[in-house]
Amino acid sequence: MDYLVLSPPVCPPSEPPSGAFILASALSGHGYHTGFLDLSLEFYHRFFNENGDSPGLQRSLDYLIQNATYAPMLHRTAAGAIHRVLKTYTDHHPGWTLTAMDLTPPVPVHQPLAINQLLQSDEPFISLWESTVAKAIQSHRPKKVLVSIAYLSQLPAAISLMHYLRQNGIAYTAGGSLLRSLHATGEGFHLLRQVIDPIDVSNGASLLANMTERDFLSRLAFPQVISEYPYLSGRPVLPLTLSTGCFWSGCLFCPDRDMKYIQLRTDALAQFMSTIPGSIRDQRPVIHLLDSAMPPNRLRAFMPLAKSFRLGFYGFARPERRLTDATFLRELSESGCLMLQLGVESGNDALLNRFNKGIHPKDARRVLQASAEQGIRTYVYLLFGLPGETDMEREDTRQLINDTIDAVDFLNLSIFNLPRHCELSQRADEFNITVDKYAQTSSTIELYRPFTLAGSSESPRKSVRSFIANRFSADPKIRQAVLRTPKWFRAAHLAMMAINGRNEQD
């Protein structure tokens, strides 16, 4: 084997971690024998097996794995039973907290050196490495091991994994979106170098001679999947991307505006689909389109492919005027679109204009209603707490959702974080923002900075939480969508949630 791509725990066990999977797919597409091992699957299933006698656990796992469509209340019950078991992780490893999307150590997760010190005396991963990782390396004899880290939830295990690889003389390189983001727009990258070097901050192109990042994504093929454990999903969810970067790239608080915008060619997408193994294709896979916002022209090129391969799909979209076209939405639905994650963000036009969002509430209303009419689920992203946001502007957001609630299937309620590197941070004075510092900054990795507004010593996040709890989520009409949105196993499972009037792919 040329490459073995490892994704350390934990990532949600409902689908392959996107960065690691795309990396393995690109290397496979260029003709390299590449294995992909999602260690989160091994981690979670080992823990489930150790707790197999827990009431309701096996029944709940079976429900999530064996059903191609989920009923909201049954899904909530299954996820709850699984999390009651996950809570017991701390009984075995005091101070550690495990959920289906996070693993928190008993030291600050933003401090790599503190985690590294902790692992000298409290090492919860070594048995996993000695069994699963050692077995994979012995069986497949990779020339190079690649460790992909996308989330902070992976950092403790990643530090432990690379210590194990070094001790056993196994050549590796670390990379992934977390490391890449910290290098480009964050603070504390040097701290990571002290515990997980060597690091490659390219998208993987530097692994191949004379390869640009654009060329690296020009060929994709399904990699060799090593784990035999099933994902907690009734249909396989496969990450794929139409583009990297963002075609809009205009928001004042976007940290990635300097990121190169690359559109994948249609033949690369077709190549990937044609190499999906028959055993997976028979299970009616769902494609998770990873784009920051799906480019309309690339989406149009993708739709015939999805239809011909009979794939479901979902992804993030800006609720622009182009998406109000009923003909386009009907074609999107008929192509297999199960859900749109819609970045509505706010119901106040002036607020959106202030931060150069390029979207408008009146268009968002039309997109929501037209999508629902075409049977496409809507997962609505709202962003509260933008600098200077008033109670009246928040009320406009509540009113927009209240007015369109029959077209709103699920809600993601986010509170604004200020990126360290973005135009808004550079223009902080103009927006009356006072940028603060985290405690222990010298030992902390940071992608965001705390802030207050001029004349106030309190973070605006506190008043936002109060509004969400007491005004927004308490709205009787809105509350039904809030309750319908599960706390765990979010987007991948929402695309398969049974909602009256929404598509189910045959």
CA distance 281 to 418: 41
pLDDT value of position 441:
64
Secondary structure class of 51 (helix, strand, coil): coil
CA distance 64 to 79: 8
Secondary structure class of 97 (helix, strand, coil): strand
Query: 37-51, 333-347, 489-503: which range is least confident on average?
Result: 489-503
Set out the domains of the chain in order of their start, with CATH numbers.
Answer: 3-51+88-215 (3.40.50.280), 235-419+459-494 (3.20.20.70)
Half-sphere exposure of 25 (CA within 13 A, CB side): 26
**Predicted confidence band of residue 438 (pLDDT cuts 50, 70, 90):** low
**Predicted confidence band of residue 299 (pLDDT cuts 50, 70, 90):** very high
- Distance from the Cα of residue 424 to its chain's centroid: 24
Quick: pLDDT tens for 10-28: 999 999 999 999 999 999 9
Per-residue pLDDT for 505 more than 90?
A: no
The pLDDT of 389-418, averaged and rounded, is: 96
**Which residues pair with residue 103 across a beta bridge?**
98
CB of 396 closer than 8 Å to CB of 350: no
For the entire predicted model, the pTM comes to 0.95
Per-residue pLDDT for 130 more than 90?
A: yes
pLDDT value of position 72:
92
CA distance 493 to 109: 27
Q: Which residues contact 128 (CB under 8 A, 6 or more apart)?
A: 9, 39, 42, 43, 46
Q: Is the dihedral of CA 404, 405, 407, 413 positive or negative?
A: positive
Query: pLDDT averaged over the chain?
Result: 94
Query: What is the percentage of the chain residues whose pLDDT exceeds 90?
Result: 85
CB of 492 closer than 8 Å to CB of 286: yes
Query: 100-109, 385-394, 459-468, 471-480: which range is least confident on average?
Result: 459-468
CB of 302 closer than 8 Å to CB of 269: yes
Half-sphere exposure of 426 (CA within 13 A, CB side): 8
The pLDDT of 302-323, averaged and rounded, is: 94
The pLDDT of 246-256, averaged and rounded, is: 89
**Predicted confidence band of residue 504 (pLDDT cuts 50, 70, 90):** confident
CA distance 109 to 445: 9
The pLDDT of 408-421, averaged and rounded, is: 95
CB of 148 closer than 8 Å to CB of 175: yes
pLDDT value of position 256:
81
**Predicted confidence band of residue 490 (pLDDT cuts 50, 70, 90):** confident
Quick: pLDDT tens for 141-176: 999 999 999 999 999 999 999 999 999 999 999 999
The pLDDT of 178-182, averaged and rounded, is: 93
Per-residue pLDDT for 404 more than 60?
A: yes
The pLDDT of 221-246, averaged and rounded, is: 95
DSSP state of 382: E
Burial 15-29 (b: 16+ CB within 10 A, else e): bbbbbbbbbbbbbbb
Quick: pLDDT tens for 449-474: 889 998 777 788 888 999 999 999 99
Q: When comparing pLDDT for 408 and 436, which is higher?
A: 408
The stretches of 309-376 forming alpha helices (DSSP H) are 326-334, 349-354, 361-373
Quick: pLDDT tens for 84-95: 999 999 999 999
Per-residue pLDDT for 439 more than 80?
A: no
Per-residue pLDDT for 437 more than 80?
A: no
Q: Which residues contact 73 (CB under 8 A, 6 or more apart)?
A: none
CB atoms within 10 A of CB 441: 12
**Predicted confidence band of residue 414 (pLDDT cuts 50, 70, 90):** very high
**Predicted confidence band of residue 440 (pLDDT cuts 50, 70, 90):** low
**Predicted confidence band of residue 260 (pLDDT cuts 50, 70, 90):** confident
